[in-house]
Structure 1
Amino acid sequence: MPTETAPAGDHTELVYQCRLPLSTQTLTFVTRLLGAHLKKIRSRWRKLPTGRIAVIVLAALRHDQRLADLAGGNHVSRTTVDRWLKEMINLLAAKAPRLERVLAKIARKGGSVVLLDGSLIPTQRRTCLPIRRRWSAKRKRHGLLVIALTDVKGRLLWTSTARPARGSEISACRHDDLVGRLREAGLAAIADLGFVGLDDDTGDPAVITGYKRPKGKQLPPPKKLVNQLIAAERAVCEHAFAHLKNWRVLTRLRLDVKWATRLVRALMILTQHEIAR
């Protein structure tokens, strides 16, 4: 016997409130940065005030909120939100310092050591040949590799260009001539075992790493102690990457990969303002 069901009612868009776990200092910084940019380009008006635009952009970066959802809740188009997001990424990334200036500033302040590490930014999986270069055999996923420097307190100082994860961390550092620039600044970098072999100068290395355990053998106690001391010093570097990845937009990058470098540098600037409050 056939049954009849009542038709669904009219479609209604529901809007809900969501907490954004960021400080007022970060929101003020982004709002002022956007306001100064609009004044510089003599923009006559925007569909929303600069404060609302800043909140929308921060929600997209912090929560990885869908742009269409943010657009519908604020009565603007998705393309408008996308334009605001990319505009703010460009403004923030432009404030990221260059490697030479970062190292020179540390040297002027009397510093002697920085912390070096790499991290993978997951990306969406594709099947074409250029995307296969983003497959990381080490982490068994597609992504982009980013190298970062932090100070001894775990504050992010510099991030490299986002490169395909198929390459190694050593290759990425050699592409930026990191060892040569560290020597020019009179600094040394502490890194994990993934950077063993980056610096060939064993007498006066610019990159300090631990000892790898030989296959089928055990490390002697002195070398184990060295590894423990290096791991203790590098703990704050791991915390720095954890703060950076609190921005959930890095959980799986959906933007075009050409925006990856600017996105990471923009998030570095936001992270610096957020954890320095």
Structure 2
Amino acid sequence: MGAALRAERVWVETSTGLRIDRFARLVKVVRERGGSRPWCLPLPDRVLLVAVHYRTNLTMRQLAPLHGISPATVCRVVQRLRPLLALELAPRPVAGVERLWIVDGTLIPVRDRKVGASSRNYRFSANVQVIIGAEDSRLVVASARPAPGNKADAHVWRESDLPATAAGTAVIADGTYLGIGLIVPHRRRVGRPPLLRGQEEDNAEHRRVRARVEHAFVRIKNWKILRDCRQKGDGLHHAVQAVATMHNLALTA
């Protein structure tokens, strides 16, 4: 049976949400990272396969007839390409240039018991910490490796490599990150006077800016692999990194 899905404009834009020129940039990144090894499918078709898998969360058996290949070949393509779609390293601070980032954690349901844990969303989930730029573009700057979902955000932050990534950069977070050097809202202490008017205004501005990371999570979770990840081992980490890459491509001009 001939392959139904090809890396053509109609299939790319319908199946992935990426414009064809941005999809071409994605293919170029994968090629430069060593993804041009010959297979039964051309590289653009293989990148499309992985993107469709992340976008729809279809199983290998469901994806196979769409591309005219076997489920085993689909699995090999996904396993091979998923690390090549990883997010670029966060840019280093530039002297004299002030930057502002926002961090927050999100719970992603997983099937792998070695990655997740029973969490407050009443599902077996992993906690993924994500940093975005505070500017209006809402680009993902970095993400940490998944941690069990029963761990607090501040604990996961401290154990991740994100503090080193964010060194020299101001980072906004919510009140659960109190006491670890991030910019958090003012809190009223028990038995203490109410917050001053200026502190209330600071908190309002803090909420307004920090809401951008929640908006980014909504867009990222349009990729259904992040609503119920069946991947094992590094599969979730690779999925988050790849989705962040495609999220950034979709937002850039």
Q: Shorter chain as normaliser: what TM range?
A: 0.7 to 0.9
- With 148-157 and 27-36 compared, the bigger mean Cα shift is at 27-36
Distance 1:244 1:165 in 2: 18
Change (3 A) 1:68 1:114: same
Counterpart of 2:208 (choices 228, 232, 235) is 232
Summarize the Cα distance change of 1:166–1:72 in structure 2 as closer, same or farther, 3 Å threshold: same
Does residue 87 (structure 1) correspond to residue 62 (structure 2)? The answer is no
Deviation at 1:76, TM superposition (A): 0.9
2:144–2:162 Cα contact (<8 Å) kept: no
Shift of 1:34: 4.2
Output the amino acid matched with 1:92.
L
One-letter identity of the residue aligned with 2:21? Q
The gaps in structure 1 that reach 5 residues or longer are: 1-14, 200-206
Paired position in structure 1 for 2:64:
71
Structure 1 residue 273 and structure 2 residue 249: aligned? yes
Contact 1:25 1:273 in 2 (8 A): no
The answer for unaligned runs of 5 or more in structure 2 is: none
Measured after TM superposition, the shift of residue 167 of structure 1 is 1.0
For residue 117 of structure 2, what is the aligned residue in structure 1?
Answer: 134
How far apart in 1 are the matches of 2:35 and 2:185? 50
Aligned mates of 1:216, 1:59 — CA distance in 2: 55
| Residue equivalent to 2:98 | 111
Q: How far apart are the structure 1 equivalents of 2:128 and 2:67?
A: 34
Counterpart selection for 2:28 from 7, 12, 32:
32
Mapping of 1:109-258 within 5 angstroms? 110-124=97-111, 134-137=117-120, 139-153=121-135, 154-176=138-160, 182=166, 184-185=167-168, 187-199=169-181, 207-212=182-187, 219-220=194-195, 222=197, 223-258=199-234
Cα distance, 1:246 vs structure 2: 1.8
Judged with a 3 Å threshold, the aligned counterparts in structure 2 of structure 1 residues 218 and 177 are, in CA distance, closer, same or farther, namely: farther
Report sequence identity in percent: 21
Which amino acid is the alignment partner of residue 96 of structure 1? E
TM-superposed deviation, 1:213? 5.3
Residue type of the alignment partner of 1:211: H
After the TM superposition, which residues 51-70 of structure 1 pair with which residues of structure 2 at under 5 Å, given as runs? 51-70=44-63
What is the identity, as a one-letter code, of the residue corresponding to 2:183? I
1-side partners of 2:22 and 2:105: how far apart? 26
Instruction: Answer yes or no: is the 8 Å Cα contact 2:143–2:162 preserved in 1.
Output: no
**Structure 1 pair 120–219 and aligned structure 2 pair: CA distance change class (3 A):** farther
Q: Is the 8 A contact 1:25 1:274 kept in 2?
A: no
Q: List per-residue Cα deviations over 1:50-85 (Å, max 9, x = no partner).
A: 222222221111111222111022221111111111
Larger radius of gyration: 1
CA distance in 2, matches of 1:258, 1:179: 21
Q: Would you say the 8 A contact 2:186–2:203 is kept in 1?
A: yes
Query: Could you say which residue in structure 2 is the equivalent of 1:96?
Result: 88
CA distance in 2, matches of 1:253, 1:141: 12
TM-score, normalised via structure 2 length = 0.81
Q: Distance in 1 between matches of 2:68 and 2:43?
A: 15
Q: 1:180 to 1:83 in 2, by over 3 A?
A: closer
In structure 2, do the counterparts of structure 1 residues 38 and 260 end up closer, same or farther at CA, with 3 Å as the change threshold?
A: closer
Structure 1 residues 152 and 123: CA distance shift in structure 2, 3 A: same
Amino acid at match of 1:87: R
- Computed over aligned residues only, the root mean square deviation of the Cα atoms, in angstroms, reads 2.9
Q: From the superposition, tell whether residues 248 and 176 of structure 1 become closer, same or farther in structure 2 (CA, over 3 Å).
A: same
Looking at structure 1, the residues matched to 35 and 215 of structure 2 have their Cα atoms a distance apart, in angstroms, of: 35
